[in-house]
A and B are shown apart, each in its own frame.
Chain A
Amino acid sequence: MALRLRVDPVACDGYGHCAELAGEGISLDEWGYPIIAEGPIKDRHLALVDLAIRQCPRKALFSEEVTRVNAPGVARR
């Protein structure tokens, strides 16, 4: 079961702990908000990513199964 990491951008306040804890796979943009690398989380990073998820002060990080397909959004307005 492959997992990918996602961030809830509304919850995220740019503390940046995640990039520090997870290292590879999360970088920060110039304003300090996380940019998540595309693709599944590598097995050797699962423990660090899990730590980043648990340590996020805003609980903004989560992982989900890669197989999940996000259908295009229904009409915005």
Chain B
Amino acid sequence: MSDVAPTTSTQRLLAGASHGSTIDLDQHIATHGDLTLPDRGEAPAWRSTMLDELDRSGLTGRGGGGFPTGRKLRALDSSRRRRIMVINTMEGEPAAQKDSVLAGFAPHLILDGAEVLATVIDAASIVVAVARDNPSAGASLEAAVTARRSAGRGSFDISIVTPPGRYVAGEESALAHWIDGGASLPTFRAAKPAVLRAKGRTVVIDNAETTAHCALIARRGATWFREFGTADAPGTALVTMSGAVESPGVFEVALGTPLREVLALAGANPKPTGILLGGYGGAFVGPSALDAPYSPDGLRPFGASPGAGVIIVLDERSCGIAEAARITRWMANESAGQCGPCVFGLPALASDLASLASSSTKGRINSALARHLTTIEGRGACAHPDGVVRMVRSALDVFSLDVAAHTRGNRCAGAHAPSLLALPPNDGDIEWR
């Protein structure tokens, strides 16, 4: 929309990135151009144009849900009180680092996007939520807010808040509840999507990466955004790659790029046994998915989606069943402890898988495993247990030959090999406020 130089690289959010650096306000403006937001008088017309651009851009939420951003913003109820714009930088997924990296490297892109979204929804204020155990991302955003204030920029009150760094604390109802002064626990909503509220106001929550894309769409427009990606999945997306890769880290890729090419960016083992996509509540795909486009439509036939941009590569070094068992145990420890089927079901599932991984069950465990998967599904207030069920089902499918071998009692060297996964200790005391 404004006059900025064309970009020819998929490095949009990460333009100019080098390890450990932060783009300060001057560099930010030099890289991306300035962003002019309307006065309140001009806001209604600007808002309408911006919503049209967001719709045309096809931008979808990059936090895991993948819902069209424009449609979400249009679906808001009429509200007499001005809303609160919340930027979700919680990233409770241990294998995800994209939002943290973005906050560390390009905090002004997130804050620009936050002001764009706040203008679109006529917010009274902006709240940026960063997990308490991620002080560097929080400090980077704090410094950026201070720099903008000193430069006399921005018309919104922006606060950086630090909820507990638990897996479910970034779930939108948990985040709204914490901002409202409660515990960072998901709440039950009879109908979804239900309007989230805090401090007597409607709360709108968007992921940090999604927000940063909005900052660029506001400058360059929808047509520019669609220069990369596919018609169904336009634009670029950040991915965090780990596991059997030479260079783990965060990469920006055009959506629709074949999965094999995405993996090559991190120097992944070209012969993976399985790839976990989306996150710990995502889905494993097998080598047959390597030529699939990395996009929601491209991965759907394999039961997977880009989710929160997590890509974990497994190879012959480790056992997919054992890794799925470890993830399930970790996710069980991350339960908010509110819903019976999650509180009791996830540990039961973790034990089933651990028994299967140890090849000690001689076929007894498989019926309990199947029963627990069915019992747990669809019975939590949030998607946490369903995500685990999806991940486990996909693991049993992708590693079906291993399941058969383990069931026969075959010894599996990989089951005792070190894990390829990021699984920070989480069996201690839990702080929810």
Q: A interface vs B, CB < 8 Å?
A: 6, 8-14, 29-33, 35, 62, 64, 68, 70-77
Say which one of B77-85, B184-192, B238-246, B412-420 lies at the interface with A: B184-192
Whether the pair B172, A33 counts as a contact (CB closer than 8 A) is: no
Q: How far is the CB of A62 from chain B (nearest CB, A)?
A: 7
Give the residues in chain B near A14, CB-CB below 8 Å: 340
- What is the bound-complex CA distance between A25 and B338, given in angstroms? 23
Contact of B63 among A10, A12, A75 (CB under 8 A): A75
- What is the bound-complex CA distance between A32 and B190, given in angstroms? 22
Q: Mark B374-417, 1 if CB is under 8 A from A, else 0.
A: 01000111110000000000000000000000000000000000
Whether the pair B171, A64 counts as a contact (CB closer than 8 A) is: no
Say which one of B8-16, B65-73, B136-144 lies at the interface with A: B65-73
- What is the bound-complex CA distance between A45 and B88, given in angstroms? 45
Give the residues in chain A near B171, CB-CB below 8 Å: 76-77
Q: How far is the CB of A6 from chain B (nearest CB, A)?
A: 7
Give the residues in chain A near B340, CB-CB below 8 Å: 9, 12-14, 29, 31-33
Given contacts A70-B191, A71-B192, A77-B308, whether A9 and B375 have CB atoms under 8 Å apart is no
- What is the bound-complex CA distance between A68 and B194, given in angstroms? 13
Give the residues in chain A near B88, CB-CB below 8 Å: 77
Closest to A75 in B: B65
Apart from A9-B340, A73-B383, what 11 extra A-B contacts exist at CB < 8 Å? A8-B188, A29-B345, A64-B190, A71-B191, A74-B61, A74-B67, A75-B63, A75-B205, A77-B65, A77-B92, A77-B172
- What is the bound-complex CA distance between A70 and B188, given in angstroms? 13
Interface residue ranges of B88-115 to A (CB < 8 Å): 88, 90-92
Q: How far is the CB of B177 from chain A (nearest CB, A)?
A: 11
- What is the bound-complex CA distance between A29 and B385, given in angstroms? 15
What is the size, in residues, of chain B's interface with A at 8 Å between Cβ atoms?
Answer: 40
Show 12 A/B contacts (Cβ-Cβ < 8 Å), sorted by A: A8-B381, A9-B338, A9-B340, A9-B341, A9-B379, A10-B186, A10-B338, A74-B61, A74-B72, A74-B193, A75-B172, A77-B65
Contact of A31 among B72, B191, B344 (CB under 8 A): B344
Give the residues in chain B near A29, CB-CB below 8 Å: 340-341, 345, 375
Does residue B64 face the partner (Cβ distance < 8 Å to A)?
Answer: yes
Whether the pair A77, B72 counts as a contact (CB closer than 8 A) is: no
- What is the bound-complex CA distance between A9 and B341, given in angstroms? 8
Give the residues in chain A near B75, CB-CB below 8 Å: 74
Give the residues in chain A near B320, CB-CB below 8 Å: none
Whether the pair A77, B379 counts as a contact (CB closer than 8 A) is: no
* Binding site secondary structure of chain A: loop
Contact of A75 among B64, B186, B187, B382 (CB under 8 A): B64
Q: How far is the CB of B397 from chain A (nearest CB, A)?
A: 23
Give the residues in chain B near A68, CB-CB below 8 Å: 191
Q: How far is the CB of A30 from chain B (nearest CB, A)?
A: 7
Q: How far is the CB of B16 from chain A (nearest CB, A)?
A: 27
Q: B interface vs A, CB < 8 Å?
A: 61, 63-67, 72, 75, 88, 90-92, 170-172, 186-188, 190-193, 205-207, 210, 308, 338-342, 344-345, 375, 379-383
Contact of B65 among A13, A62, A64, A74 (CB under 8 A): A74
- What is the bound-complex CA distance between A10 and B64, given in angstroms? 23
Contact of A77 among B170, B191, B344 (CB under 8 A): B170
Closest 10 CB pairs of A and B: A75-B65, A75-B61, A33-B340, A9-B339, A31-B344, A74-B193, A77-B63, A73-B192, A10-B188, A77-B170
Give the residues in chain A near B380, CB-CB below 8 Å: 9
Whether the pair B65, A76 counts as a contact (CB closer than 8 A) is: yes
Closest to A29 in B: B375
Give the residues in chain A near B63, CB-CB below 8 Å: 75-77
Give the residues in chain B near A32, CB-CB below 8 Å: 340
Given contacts A9-B339, A9-B341, A9-B380, whether A75 and B190 have CB atoms under 8 Å apart is no
Whether the pair A11, B65 counts as a contact (CB closer than 8 A) is: no
- What is the bound-complex CA distance between A46 and B67, given in angstroms? 38
Closest to A32 in B: B340
Q: How far is the CB of A65 from chain B (nearest CB, A)?
A: 11
Give the residues in chain B near A75, CB-CB below 8 Å: 61, 63-67, 72, 172, 205-207, 210
Closest to A13 in B: B340
Q: How far is the CB of B43 from chain A (nearest CB, A)?
A: 24
Name, among B66, B193, B383, the residue most crowded by chain A CB atoms within 10 Å (CB to CB): B193
Closest to B189 in A: A73
Give the residues in chain A near B172, CB-CB below 8 Å: 74-77
Give the residues in chain B near A6, CB-CB below 8 Å: 190
